[in-house]
Amino acid sequence: MKLTLKIWRQAGPDAKGAMVDYPVSDVSEDMSFLEMLDVLNDKLVREGQQPIAFDHDCREGICGACSLFIDGRPHGPSRHITTCQLHMRKFKDGDVIHVEPWRAGAFPVIKDLVVDRGAFDRIQAAGGFVSVNTMGNLVDANAQPIPKLDSDKAFDAAACIGCGACVAACPNSSAMLFVAAKVSQYALLPQGRPEAKTRALNMVEQMDTEGFGNCTNIGACEIECPKDISLENIARLNREYLGAELSKE
């Protein structure tokens, strides 16, 4: 099939970018979206042009590196998959496809479609952990049973891959779903309870400091999340934070 790609090109962090048209032909429906870009890049290099920079790594939907805003939506038109799992059979001959980087002040563009998501690491470093050192002699893993429902819900939250689609989808560029997923995972497990209050306060403070927008419960993040992280987690963060804020000394 033949397609027209409209791709954001930006030479560097401070350069002015623009959408550039690239006609592509001979696209096989078995290709993944990124393989289609590989083929385009191969052509660009042979023609002496700059290939398009984009983040990607595992190409099986788990590392969270790929991050394209395709055809007006993060990770493209299909639900519950990442860009690397999107295949060209979802498109048809003659389609015009816009490809843009995540857009948020807290995710500055580095080059073309590559953005800096370091803000997520800093949020994690502010409290996204259980303060336990490496010890060979911890209590036995089975010493403390955890209700299966809590454990399953913690897993649902822990499935977050930190890709940033929630921020990209949110009209407010809010990172609440990401933060809520991490806070929820630990809040639901007994191992995470001792630090639950400081965790919620510190991670939210860091989130605000990074310049993400405020959550206004629009819900776009939940729809676009490739790992189906639920808004329930945001409600849980709201509860956790409220309790922590009211009781802090």
Partner 1 sequence: MSILDAKVPAGPIERKWSEHKDHIRLVNPANKRSIDIIVVGTGLAGASAAASLAEMGYNVKSFCYQDSSRRAHSIAAQGGINAAKNYPNDGDSVYRLFYDTLKGGDYRSREANTWRLAEVSASIIDQCVAQGVPFARDYGGLLDNRSFGGAQVSRTFYARGQTGQQLLLGAYSALMRQVGKGKVKMYDRHEMLDLVVVEGKARGIIARNLVTGELERHGAHAVLLCTGGYGNVFFLSTNAMGSNVTAAWKAHKRGAYMANPCYTQIHPTCIPVSGDHQSKLTLMSESLRNDGRIWVPKKLEDAKAIQEGKKKGSDIAEDDRDYYLERRYPSFGNLVPRDVASRAAKERCDAGFGVNRTGEAVYLDFASAIERYGKMEANVHHVENPSPEKIRELGMKVVSEKYGNLFDMYENIVGENPYVHAMKIYPAVHYTMGGLWVDYNLQSTVPGMYVLGEANFSDHGANRLGASALMQGLADGYFILPYTIADYVASDIRTGPIKTDTAEFVEAEKSVRERIDKFFNTKGSEPVDHFHKRLGKVMWEKCGMARNAKGLQEGIEEIRKIRDDFWANVRVPGKPNELNQELEKAGRVADFLELGELMCKDALNRNESCGGHFREEYQTEEGEALRDDENFAYVAAWEWTGEPGKDVMHKEELKFEALKLSQRSYK
Partner 2 sequence: MARQGLFGSSLIKKYWMALTGLFLIGFLVAHATINAMIFFNDGGITFNEWAHFMGTNLIIRTVELVLFAGLILHVVDGLMLWRQNRAARPVDYAFAKHNANSKWYSRSMGILGTLILLFLIVHLWHFWVPSRNIVGSLEPYGSDAAGRENLFALMVQVFSNPAVVVVYVLGCFSLFWHLLHGFKSAFQSLGLNHRKYNGFIAFCGAAFSIIVPVLFAAMPVSMYLGWIK
CB of 142 to partner 2, least distance (A): 29
Rounded CA separation 62/108 (Å): 23
Applying the rule CB under 8 A, the residues between 154 and 183 that interact with partner 1 are 154-155, 158-159, 161-162
Q: Is 205 in the site for partner 1 (CB under 8 A)?
A: no
Helix residue ranges per DSSP H, 6-137: 33-46, 118-127
CB of 189 to partner 1, least distance (A): 5
Pairing of strands 96-100, 69-70: antiparallel
Q: Is 147 in the site for partner 2 (CB under 8 A)?
A: no
Among 14, 25, 94, 131, indicate the residue that binds partner 1 (CB under 8 A). 131
Q: Is 217 in the site for partner 2 (CB under 8 A)?
A: yes
CB of 218 to partner 1, least distance (A): 26
Among 16, 94, 145, 246, indicate the residue that binds partner 1 (CB under 8 A). 145
Applying the rule CB under 8 A, the residues between 108 and 127 that interact with partner 1 are 110-111, 114, 116-118, 120-121, 124-127
Q: Name the residue nearer to partner 2 (CB basis): 23 or 134.
A: 23
Q: Name the residue nearer to partner 2 (CB basis): 139 or 149.
A: 149
The token duo for 60 is 């099986």
Helix residue ranges per DSSP H, the chain: 33-46, 118-127, 148-158, 165-169, 176-187, 196-209, 220-224, 232-247
Q: Is 177 in the site for partner 2 (CB under 8 A)?
A: no
Q: Is 42 in the site for partner 1 (CB under 8 A)?
A: yes
Interface mask toward partner 2 for 10-39; x: CB under 8 A: ---------x--------------------
Q: Is 197 in the site for partner 2 (CB under 8 A)?
A: no
Q: DSSP label at 213?
A: B
Among 73, 111, 182, 227, indicate the residue that binds partner 2 (CB under 8 A). 73
Cβ-Cβ contacts under 8 Å for 115 (sequence gap 6 or more): 55, 67, 101, 102, 104, 107, 108, 109, 164
Number of residues that bind partner 1 (CB under 8 A): 82
Provide φ and ψ at 5, rounded to 5°. -100, 135
Rounded CA separation 56/61 (Å): 10
Cα separation values, 134 from 88, 131, 186, Å:
45, 10, 18
- Binding at 24: pick from partner 1, partner 2, none (beta carbon under 5-8 Å per type): none
In the block, tokens 């955890």 appear at 146
**Is the Cα torsion angle 205, 207, 213, 219 positive or negative in sign?**
negative
Among 9, 90, 103, 197, indicate the residue that binds partner 2 (CB under 8 A). 103
- Determine the length of the chain: 249
Q: Is 48 in the site for partner 1 (CB under 8 A)?
A: yes
The token duo for 62 is 């788990």
